Chains A and B, each alone.
Chain A
């Protein structure tokens, strides 16, 4: 269970939001809505512990994510604006090494299966450098098929994806939620995701 209490975000000398709080239970989806520049990405980075909140605290299973980071981080899968892929490595290498760095041993077969699931298996042995934006995004998202973390924090996961890939990803997120996972995401598209409970959080600029 992820709990946020009284969060405030200050970037430069601008207050983006304050007194923001929510409780995210197993199986629920949190939709973060807001205009460009309203602090959506900052909020997600805060929830990962990459950005310190100006005020307030974030608790995972009742413990602060800051002081108990080593218990929190194995439960977290974050995908930000940046794909976190190395241009000179192939899609398969990227996926496998990325999972290992996150502390999870993944075989080449499992990584290939993940790439197949999101429909990019034919690019598995190409360096990521030569792939298009959407293809790169798919490679990064393939990590979700390998992830065993209960909490997914996804920043604009549907950006640059085509219709087919959007559907596949929405189905994967629904499956994750049905299995008792949690997902926090931002999106400018309206994508139907099945969840036990969906909370919308609106950030006003």
Chain B
């Protein structure tokens, strides 16, 4: 059972590695979008650091979303999704491997880059760390919930926009708690409450999203 899961994970990572432009697009998007704000708004540190949590989180959210279309679309087009559906393992379990691979490729690099970007916004050291923690806890939710949207819109024309409409409202709790955690630490308060809630949302989606995604995939393939 684990071997199938690991094979699927390895396959998706290998494919990402052979098609590096896909990873680069996500990262470049995150870097550019979050770098445009300081350029547009001006260099006052007070203004920048007050908008930083929201801007960085929204940028991370959008960056994660533009790569969602690729999560199942290629597998659907070349028939490997059918083969995945016919594997003896539970589909939700296999789907979780694909979602994990998506997070490793699109979520984790954003988490690692975020403190560098945060420096542009004159974020203090503590807040930078909280930013990293919040993204580490929150970005898996983005991949998990995004997978449901990607599976539901599989094979639909203009699915990119549809995914955004479906998924962005569901990202709101993650955005609020994520940005809230950073803001709280900026104001000298403890970010623990926000981070706990963020982790709770993550755990909840970890349990539910693979099941919902599997159900959506079965419908889409039919």
Contact = CB atoms under 8 A, between A and B. Distances in A.
SS class, residues of chain B in contact with chain A: helix
Given A82-B78, A88-B18, A105-B3, A50 B85 contact: yes
A84 B78 contact: yes
A98 B75 CA distance: 12
SS class, residues of chain A in contact with chain B: loop
B79 A101 contact: no
Interface string A28-62: 00000000000000000000111110000000000
B80 A84 contact: yes
A162 interface: no
A73 B80 contact: no
A9 to B, nearest CB: 12
B46 interface: no
A50 B218 CA distance: 7
A82 B3 CA distance: 25
Contacts of A70: 88, 90
B86 to A, nearest CB: 6
A74 to B, nearest CB: 5
Interface residues of A, number: 29
B7 A84 contact: no
Q: Which 4 A-B pairs have the closest CB atoms?
A: A82-B79, A84-B79, A100-B7, A88-B18
Contact of A74 (B18, B79, B88): B88
A73 B14 CA distance: 27
A101 B83 contact: yes
A48 B86 contact: yes
A87 B221 CA distance: 20
A103 interface: yes
A101 B87 contact: yes
Contact of B86 (A89, A97, A102): A102
B86 A81 contact: no
Interface in B58-77: 74, 77
Interface in A58-100: 70, 73-74, 76, 78, 80-89, 93, 97-98, 100
A100 B79 CA distance: 16
